[in-house]
């Protein structure tokens, strides 16, 4: 929209821009087109636009053929947009973007998030929408210049801080351009900047433990002027050795370390931590025949290496809303790392029966106990990795104490979101879970959910 059109539209719909809602409307058409170009859109894309306002960007987003979900807090603008864009590829949600339930985006194939954000909530929004793991594959955001500089900062600069590292741990951040206040009506008090965030490839950075990383970084940046050695004494007692191994000056301050050095530091802090990744491969499993009768025992590596039939349990945990808890397998797992899986799952050990294994796995992985009910048994096939699987269900509202060496993350999801997610992106899931899901939902998804 041109300046004169914005002016006329605001008068027509009797809206005076509300400062507290960050209502500064973009009137530079070339810039709007340039922004949308950076999203590389096709008809396959599903765009979530935060704060569409009068539709300055929405118009170009829809021109690309993509579907657009726009979230606008001001009812008057939401009503205006509903009338302005009548295509069925456009959906307007009159809501506060901070209340938006991100989980529903997992059911879309290619999600991109775009917005000329209201500055008063940009840091909260940024942290909410860049929470890891995320179904979003690209972020294009207009931010207050200062915020854009902070998240794209490089070491040794005053903008470089804990926020930089928390965001850059999962995303590559590009500061694309500074945007002067003059392209908005009314003009904001500060300049803006446009940034693009793309998720990092899984093997781009060394492995780390997320909780330890975040703790060490926050502690390190808690007093920027102090040398790190004084702030991290408890975490890293052998400081000089650590500095020389990682390659930084032992008198360094937090802003001098690169992301990779912070990861190395947090890994040293973690090695003293009891929840470091466990080494696996030493256990023995019962080997069974095609009728699930025990033939003998074999070490884990042999069972998996030779595709021998063996036994496993999967447990699906529902909360009182009927949502299912999914775990994201740890990066350290030897099989299917980082894929989404049943709430808890594991092998039946030698000398153990299915029920005992289910109770043990449930307790070990989620740190709680609950009554487990048998749902169904799956035959050993290629798809189950030659595992006979007994599937159980349980009811629990959490919170859980996740076994960090096994599970990277876990969350409850509505079952209809999971159904759609599996249809859109089956490769996000461990094959054993997909088989359990298929077997248990053949008739009716709701039948799986225990009655409250
Ligand atoms: N995208 C439009 C443009 O570029 O002209 C408008 C951008 S304006 C900076 C921010 C928009 O976000 C406004 O339309 C405002 O009403 C909306 N907004 C403010 N707070 C919001 C919130 N919490 N959730 C969703 N939208 C919000």
CATH at residue 386: 3.90.79.10
- Atom 4 of ligand 1: nearest residue by CA position: 26
Residue 99 Cβ contacting ligand 1 at under 6 Å:
no
- Centre of ligand 1 from the C-alpha of residue 41, in Å: 22
- Centre of ligand 1 from the C-alpha of residue 106, in Å: 24
Question: Of the residues 6, 49, 53, which should be mutated to test ligand 1's pocket, given the most ligand atoms within 8 Å of the CB?
Answer: 53
Query: In whole angstroms, what is the distance from residue 243 CA to residue 253 CA?
Result: 12
Structurally, how many domains does the chain consist of?
A: 3
Residues contacting 3, CB < 8 A, separation 6+:
27, 185
Same domain for 126 and 91: yes
Which atom number of ligand 1 is nearest to the Cα of residue 53? 14
Same domain for 142 and 106: yes
19 in a domain, yes or no? yes
- Mean pLDDT by runs of 10 across the 452 residues of the chain is 92 94 96 97 97 97 97 97 97 98 94 94 90 93 96 97 94 97 95 96 87 93 95 93 96 97 93 52 87 94 93 97 96 89 96 96 96 96 95 97 91 96 95 94 58 48
Which atom number of ligand 1 is nearest to the Cα of residue 74? 16
End-to-end, the C-alpha distance of the chain in Å comes to 52
Same domain for 311 and 423: yes
CA 101 to mean position of chain CA atoms: 13
Task: Say which residue the tokens 């096939």 belong to.
Answer: 381
Domain boundary among 199, 230, 247: 199
CA dihedral (300, 302, 308, 309) in degrees, to 10, reads: -10
Same domain for 436 and 379: yes
Which tokens belong to 188?
Answer: 């904001």
Q: Is-contact 340 430, C-beta < 8 A?
A: yes
Residue 22 Cβ contacting ligand 1 at under 6 Å:
yes
Same domain for 377 and 328: yes
In total, the chain counts a number of residues equal to 452
Same domain for 46 and 191: yes
Residue 116 Cβ contacting ligand 1 at under 6 Å:
yes
**CATH code at 162?**
3.40.50.150
Q: Is-contact 160 153, C-beta < 8 A?
A: yes
Same domain for 253 and 294: no
**Per-residue pLDDT, 415:** 95
Residue 51 Cβ contacting ligand 1 at under 6 Å:
yes
Same domain for 290 and 259: no
Residue 56 Cβ contacting ligand 1 at under 6 Å:
yes
Residue 74 Cβ contacting ligand 1 at under 6 Å:
yes
Residues contacting 58, CB < 8 A, separation 6+:
49, 52, 68, 70, 81, 85, 90
382 in a domain, yes or no? yes
DSSP for 95-132 reads: S-GGG--GGGGGGSSEEEEEEE--GGGHHHHHHHHTPS
Task: Say which residue the tokens 């879309």 belong to.
Answer: 108
Rg (CA), the chain: 26
- Centre of ligand 1 from the C-alpha of residue 55, in Å: 10
Residue 432 Cβ contacting ligand 1 at under 6 Å:
no
Same domain for 223 and 170: no
DSSP for 19-33 reads: GGGT--EE--HHHHH
109 in a domain, yes or no? yes
- Centre of ligand 1 from the C-alpha of residue 166, in Å: 25
Query: In whole angstroms, what is the distance from residue 97 CA to residue 70 CA?
Result: 9
189 in a domain, yes or no? yes
321 in a domain, yes or no? yes
Query: In whole angstroms, what is the distance from residue 253 CA to residue 230 CA?
Result: 10
Q: Is-contact 388 288, C-beta < 8 A?
A: yes
Query: In whole angstroms, what is the distance from residue 372 CA to residue 355 CA?
Result: 8
Query: In whole angstroms, what is the distance from residue 183 CA to residue 212 CA?
Result: 43
**Per-residue pLDDT, 446:** 52
Label residue 427 left, alpha or beta by phi (over 0 means left) and psi (-120 to 50 means alpha). Answer: alpha
CA dihedral (302, 304, 309, 311) in degrees, to 10, reads: 110
Residues contacting 86, CB < 8 A, separation 6+:
none
Same domain for 253 and 291: no
- Atom 19 of ligand 1: nearest residue by CA position: 21
Same domain for 257 and 163: no
204 in a domain, yes or no? no
Which atom number of ligand 1 is nearest to the Cα of residue 25? 5
**CATH code at 253?**
1.10.8.100
68 in a domain, yes or no? yes
**Per-residue pLDDT, 452:** 44
**Per-residue pLDDT, 250:** 97
Domain boundary among 199, 222, 250: 199
Closest CA to 121 of 105, 144, 152: 144
- Atom 14 of ligand 1: nearest residue by CA position: 53
Residue 26 Cβ contacting ligand 1 at under 6 Å:
yes
Closest CA to 442 of 387, 388, 378: 378
Question: Of the residues 5, 35, 51, which should be mutated to test ligand 1's pocket, given the most ligand atoms within 8 Å of the CB?
Answer: 51
Which tokens belong to 122?
Answer: 């940009």
Question: Of the residues 24, 98, 118, 183, which should be mutated to test ligand 1's pocket, given the most ligand atoms within 8 Å of the CB?
Answer: 118
178 in a domain, yes or no? yes
**Per-residue pLDDT, 449:** 57
Residue 125 Cβ contacting ligand 1 at under 6 Å:
no
Which ranges of 175-236 would DSSP assign to H, the alpha helix? 210-220, 228-231
**Per-residue pLDDT, 208:** 86
Domain boundary among 269, 293, 310: 269
**Per-residue pLDDT, 357:** 97
Same domain for 144 and 114: yes
Q: pTM higher than 0.85, yes or no?
A: yes
| Domain, as residue range, for 396 | 284-448
- Centre of ligand 1 from the C-alpha of residue 50, in Å: 7
């Amino acid at each position: 929209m041109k300046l004169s059109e914005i002016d006329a539209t605001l008068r027509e719909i009797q809206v005076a821009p509300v400062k507290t809602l960050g209502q500064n409307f973009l009137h530079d058409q070339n810039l709007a087109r340039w922004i949308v170009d950076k999203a590389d859109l096709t008809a396959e894309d599903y765009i979530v636009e935060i704060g569409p306002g009068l539709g300055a960007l929405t118009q170009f987003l829809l021109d690309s053929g993509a579907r657009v979900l726009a979230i606008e807090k001001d009812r008057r603008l939401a009503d205006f947009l509903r009338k302005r864009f009548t295509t069925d590829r456009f959906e307007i949600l009159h809501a506060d973007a901070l209340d938006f339930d991100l989980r529903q985006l997992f059911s879309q194939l290619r999600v991109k998030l775009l917005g000329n954000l209201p500055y008063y909530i940009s840091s909260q929004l940024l942290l909410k929408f860049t929470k890891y793991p995320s179904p979003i594959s690209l972020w294009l955001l207009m931010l207050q210049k200062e915020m854009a500089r902070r998240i794209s900062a490089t070491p040794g600069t005053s903008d470089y801080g804990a926020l930089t590292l928390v965001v850059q741990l999962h995303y590559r951040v590009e500061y694309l351009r500074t945007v002067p206040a003059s392209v908005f009506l009314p003009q904001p008090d500060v300049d803006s900047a446009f940034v693009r965030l793309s998720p990092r490839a899984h093997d781009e950075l060394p492995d780390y433990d997320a909780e330890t990383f975040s703790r060490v970084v926050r502690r390190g940046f808690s007093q920027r002027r102090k040398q790190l050695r004084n702030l991290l004494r408890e975490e890293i007692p052998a400081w000089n050795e650590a500095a020389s191994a990682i390659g930084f000056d032992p008198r360094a301050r937090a802003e001098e370390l690169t992301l990779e050095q912070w990861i190395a530091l947090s890994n040293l802090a973690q090695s003293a931590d009891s929840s470091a990744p466990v080494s696996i491969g030493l256990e023995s499993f019962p080997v069974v025949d095609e009728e699930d009768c025990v033939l003998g025992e074999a070490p884990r590596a042999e069972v998996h290496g030779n595709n021998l039939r063996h036994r496993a349990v999967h447990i699906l945990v529902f909360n009182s809303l009927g949502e299912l808890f999914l775990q994201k397998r740890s990066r350290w797992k030897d099989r299917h790392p980082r894929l989404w899986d049943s709430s808890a799952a594991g092998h039946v050990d030698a000398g153990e029966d299915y029920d005992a294994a289910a109770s043990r796995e449930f307790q070990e992985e989620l740190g709680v106990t609950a009554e487990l009910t048998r749902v169904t048994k799956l035959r050993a096939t290629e798809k189950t990795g030659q595992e006979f699987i007994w599937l159980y269900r349980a009811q629990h509202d959490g919170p859980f104490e996740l076994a960090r060496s096994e599970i990277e993350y876990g969350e409850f999801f509505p079952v209809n979101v999971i159904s759609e997610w599996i249809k859109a992106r089956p490769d996000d899931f461990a094959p054993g879970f997909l088989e359990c899901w298929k077997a248990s939902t053949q008739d009716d998804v709701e039948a799986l959910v225990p009655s409250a």
